[in-house]
Structure 1
Amino acid sequence: MAYDLGGPVRVAVIYYSATGTVYELAKAAAVAAEKAGAEVRLRKVREIAPDEVVAANRMWLEHVEATRHIGEATLEDLDWADALLMGAPTRYGAPAAQFKQFIDATGPLWGRGRLINKIASSFTSTATAHGGQESTILALNNTFYHWGAIIVPPGYADPVQFRNGNPYGTSHTSQNGEIPPGEVQLAAMEFQARRVVEVAQAFKRGRAG
């Protein structure tokens, strides 16, 4: 693939969120990546649920209205980025269908080798404490394997990880959207974003050298 060796690291934070939990994590990631020196695009994937289904859930409808200003993710955003932070809530232990549909549309880029060597990391949220956080992140990472991306997990590379407790990627238990991410979860997301930027910067320097 053609790799841009000049300028700052370019990070696309791409997410799906129904009631706003993953959105809060994505915002924290975008801010942290910018502070770390990256050029950042924050993008949501398109909502595909029927309008009547969204309207039947007050929190879902309010979130759709509140985030109309966020641009929708396109394949060009993936092509543009050096690094990807991708997040989705779980649905039965796997990424939400809205996010999966976006992933399934990346075949043209994948077929041209445009996703090889992207630095990639993932995050999630569930309604309950054991609702599929790790399995959702692992499912997201399965896509990265097929792309030939370079997966960068947060691991236990920062003290906050011993408080947040998920080396696979930042995760949060929202209790059906009632509990937003707290200080620890947001700090973990910020660390994960910084780590992604640092690894991407090192990779770009190595390629340029």
Structure 2
Amino acid sequence: MTDLRTAVIYYSATGSVYAMAQAAAKAAEHAGSEVRLRKVRELAPEQAIAGNEGWAAHAAQTQDVPEATLDDLEWADLLVVGAPTRFGLPAAQLKQFLDTTGPLWGEGKLVNKAATSFTSAATAHGGQETTITALNNTFYHWGCLIVPPGYADPIQFQAGNPYGSSHTSNNGTTPPGQVELDAVAFQARRAVQVAQALKTGLAAA
């Protein structure tokens, strides 16, 4: 074990991003990090959720996953953040949580953390890359060091997204496959390695 602490924070409506978050959390843990897996608060009305079978089933499946708090961000050395794409931007539920981080930002408590992001969209070219870069815009403001997967592992030549892991759900009919799960696992392992080097280097400086 290292002394690294990782917060995997996500929003998922029907399960695609949740599956990727689970893979990221497991990989980070196997890489030696202590991990918190946290979902953000749901904003949609119960009636809307109940009217979508997949959404309702996923809400019931993950009812015991703890909700993210500002303490999770402050606690972590590494932030792994995932959200579905909504019109090329992160889903409102995740964005709303990010919008509550002003107090931590104002006190400089997010500076020099490592951060990386991932997403899922309903269609190919549905905004995967713009969602990841939009998430990264928040990390710039926080003063984080962004860790992209790049093409630093053979899995990336199959997954094909150097910005961050992504998945195409084909309008919710296709869950993440082994390539997507292996890609986000690699991304998490790489982020743990970089975050640990960053933490060690800062402590020695």
**TM-score tier after normalising by the smaller chain length:** over 0.9
Aligned-pair identity (%): 67
- In structure 1, C-alpha distance between the alignment counterparts of 2:8 and 2:195, rounded to whole Å: 14
Q: Deviations over 1:88-120 (max 9, x none)?
A: 001010000000000000000000000101100
Alpha-carbon distance, 1:205 to partner: 1.6
Task: Name the counterpart of 1:196.
Answer: 191
In 2, distance between residues paired with 1:142 and 1:205? 25
Partner of 2:56: 61
Report the Cα distance in structure 2 between the residues aligned to 1:59 and 1:104, rounded to whole angstroms.
Answer: 27
Asked if 1:8 is matched to 2:6, the reply is no
Could you say what secondary structure the match of 1:128 adopts?
A: coil
1:127 aligns with 2:131: no
What's the secondary structure of 2:193's corresponding residue?
Answer: helix
Match of residue 142 from structure 1: 137
Question: 2-side partners of 1:91 and 1:203: how far apart?
Answer: 33
Match of 1:76 in 2: 71
Deviation at 1:208, TM superposition (A): 2.5
- Alpha-carbon distance in 2 for matches of 1:204, 1:78: 15
Please tell me the residue identity of whatever aligns with 2:131: T
Gaps of 5+ in 1: 1-6
User: How many Å separate the matches in 1 of 2:119 and 2:70?
Assistant: 21
**Structure 1 counterpart SS, 2:109:** coil
Deviation at 1:69, TM superposition (A): 1.2
One-letter code aligned to 2:128: Q
**Counterparts of 1:113 and 1:193 in 2: how far apart (Å)?**
24
Paired position in structure 2 for 1:171: 166
| In structure 1, C-alpha distance between the alignment counterparts of 2:60 and 2:168, rounded to whole Å | 23
What is the RMSD of the two structures over their aligned residues, measured on CA atoms?
0.7
Render the CA deviation track for 1:30-50: whole Å, top value 9, x for unaligned: 000000000000000000100
Q: By how many angstroms is 1:207 displaced?
A: 1.9
Residue deviations 1:8-49 (CA, integer Å, cap 9, x gap): 110000000000000000000000000000000000000010
User: Equivalents in 1 of 2:134, 2:183: separation in Å?
Assistant: 20
Matched, 1:180 2:180: no
Residue 178 of structure 1: CA displacement?
1.1
TM-score (norm 2): 0.98
Query: Number of residues paired by the alignment?
Result: 203
**Paired amino acid for 2:180:** Q
Instruction: Give the corresponding residue for 2:153.
Output: 158
Matched, 1:116 2:111: yes
The normalised TM-score by structure 1 is: 0.96
- Alpha-carbon separation, structure 1, partners of 2:61 and 2:77: 29
CA distance in 1, matches of 2:18, 2:171: 14
